[in-house]
Amino acid sequence: MTDNLRGSAFMVLAMLGFALEDAFFKSATGLGSVSPGVGTVMFGLLAFTIFAGIARAKQIPLWHPAYLQRGLLIRTGFEICGRLFFALALAYTPLSTTSAILQAAPLVVTLGAVLVLGETVGPRRWAAMAVGFAGVLMILRPTPSGFEASAIFAVLGMIGFAGRDLATRTSPAQVHSAQLGLLGFAVVTLAGAIIILFEAGPPALPGADAALRICGTAFCGVLGYSALTRAMRTGEVSVVAPFRYSRLIFALIIAVAIFGERPDAMTLAGAALIVVSGGYTLLRSRPERRLP
């Protein structure tokens, strides 16, 4: 199996984990017994604890001096930017606009791979990326009125997540993925605490049902985060990144099977474009240009 194929498989697995994470979190906060801020703090703490257990089981130190190195400090800064501004976007911007802007992250990651990592992307792969993004727009169909001034929050959040992924690629090899997870979910916990500061009323503990769903959120988040880290460290970023679009495919399946939604023909056509563009991008990758 080539590095590109392995990295793409990890990216698809990561997107499945994140789609399930979203479903658990949506169902937990939808019960009304847990606020988004409290839910985010619980999610961050539980996932942090899981990664801490993984690290200890593998006899990996919880603290690594590289946390304070320039590369990981940049990664942490980008992740804080992504978590905070995307949360603000969800609060103040229509969901369709926020989601559409977030799906532009692979394009930004690919551009960053060209400008920062020196990868080469031909016009056909750029065209395939554009087709995938067109599929995203077919699914979300954001209206022109949705792109208001507050949409800058979503843009900043998307840039934060794209920058985090690029910084993950260049993070020190001696830092284990479990240690990256510890660092990442410490940021999630911090973001949740900041959200609580802006919520009305005092924070309250969730009921048993909501707490179980938050546990499911944490487990799937750990799965997604671990697979994402492996994906961004394997194969060419410009090949692996487009498979982020698979998250929409999983989201459609979950929406139908769990939430009873029925996507229309336009949505299904957009999903097909996303799959085709990702597959074409992988086929166009050439082994001689793989990074070591």
Mean pLDDT of each 10-residue bin along the chain, 292 residues long: 89 91 82 81 93 90 85 85 77 63 76 78 82 79 61 84 80 76 87 85 86 93 88 81 82 82 79 79 55 42
Sign of the alpha-carbon torsion through 206, 212, 215, 221: negative
Q: What is this structure's pTM?
A: 0.75
The rounded distance, in Å, linking the Cα atoms of 158 and 86 is: 7
Whether the CB-CB separation of 115 and 251 falls below 8 Å is answered with no
The DSSP element (H or E) to which 26 belongs, if any, is: helix 3-30
Q: What string of DSSP letters covers 32-63?
A: SSS-HHHHHHHHHHHHHHHHHHHHHHTT--S-
Q: What is the pLDDT of residue 235?
A: 79
Q: What is the pLDDT of residue 291?
A: 43
The rounded distance, in Å, linking the Cα atoms of 101 and 96 is: 9
Q: What is the pLDDT of residue 290?
A: 44
Q: What is the pLDDT of residue 133?
A: 81
For residue 240, CA distances in Å to 8, 9, 58 come to: 5, 9, 28
Q: DSSP assignment, residue 203?
A: -
The rounded distance, in Å, linking the Cα atoms of 175 and 138 is: 40
The rounded distance, in Å, linking the Cα atoms of 186 and 51 is: 11
Task: Kindly calculate the radius of gyration of the chain based on its CA atoms and give it in whole angstroms.
Answer: 19
Residue (of 205, 223, 163, 161) closest to 41 by Cα position:
205
- Give residues with Cβ within 8 angstroms of 193, minimum separation 6: 37, 41
